[in-house]
Amino acid sequence: MQPSQPIGIFDSGVGGLTVANAIRQILPDEQMIYFGDTFHLPYGDKSADSVKFYSTRISEYLLSLNCKLILIACNTASALAWEAVSETVRGKSLAMNVIDPVIDEVAGNTKIKRIGVIGTKGTINSGTYKLKLIQKNNRLDVRSLATPLLVPMIEEGFIFDDISNAIIRNYLSREELQGIDTLILGCTHYPIIKQQIARFFDFRVQIVDSAVIVAKRLRKLLRENNLLNKDSENPVHQFLVSDYTEYFEIIARMFFEGDIRLQKIDLWSHS
């Protein structure tokens, strides 16, 4: 592997763009190839076998594009398909998920006592966050809540309005999240509504957004493997989708300031 090779990133939709944006800011010389599997969105209500199948197929495709690292920028796929993706890329590229860096960051913070985790049904039902957090720090009181309407709400563009505020208020006022001091946004879509979530708690609850945490861990991993790209000037990123949606392009342009080229790729018709 060479430092000049791109980083491959995938998610079910626009959520992983929050991570890609953080990577662009922290590692401005790295070229990214982003795959949004919008055809199968959302992953959160799919079976574990389906998520593993989609994730390994996308990883194989990103490997064919010569990516030096595959980042699962989706919490559901990180929870359900991490071992499958790791096996797929072993010996060919590096691999990362978006859950483990957050676990390490949170579990080592002695100020955190009662922590909430919100995510898709797939992520929450897997129990991955709760299990790994308590393995690292058995003094933590971990409260989990599935919030399945948030991803389709965001993908449909219902943000910063009465509809999204009502849905957010309904979820965050549930008994499971009462008395928490910290909230993990266990889905890469959720940072898009981070301010609305923080406002619900009157900014008194620490909101853990995985994007910057993951980007810093990625930088560390590349550095340790002598794969940091230091020579690129204004790298051209690729944005691939399995089904074109207007909102994906709107969000991508918001994060990447209009500098995007959206390309539809069919990985499924011949599967």
Residues labelled as active-site residues = 74, 187
Task: Judge contact between 13 and 249, C-beta under 8 A.
Answer: no
- The total of other beta-carbon atoms located within 10 Å of residue 13's CB is 28
Q: Structure tokens of 118?
A: 């919100």
Partnered with residue 183 across adjacent β-strands are 116, 207
Pairing, β 7-11 against β 206-208: unpaired
Residue entry with tokens 């959160």: 44
| Cβ-Cβ contacts under 8 Å for 87 (sequence gap 6 or more) | none
Bond before 101 cis per omega within 30 degrees: no
Task: Judge contact between 36 and 61, C-beta under 8 A.
Answer: no
Amino acid code (one letter) for 54: Y
65 closest CA partner among 36, 31, 97, 37: 31
Measure the CA angle with vertex 233, ends 228 and 234; round to 5°. Answer: 105
Task: Judge contact between 188 and 19, C-beta under 8 A.
Answer: yes
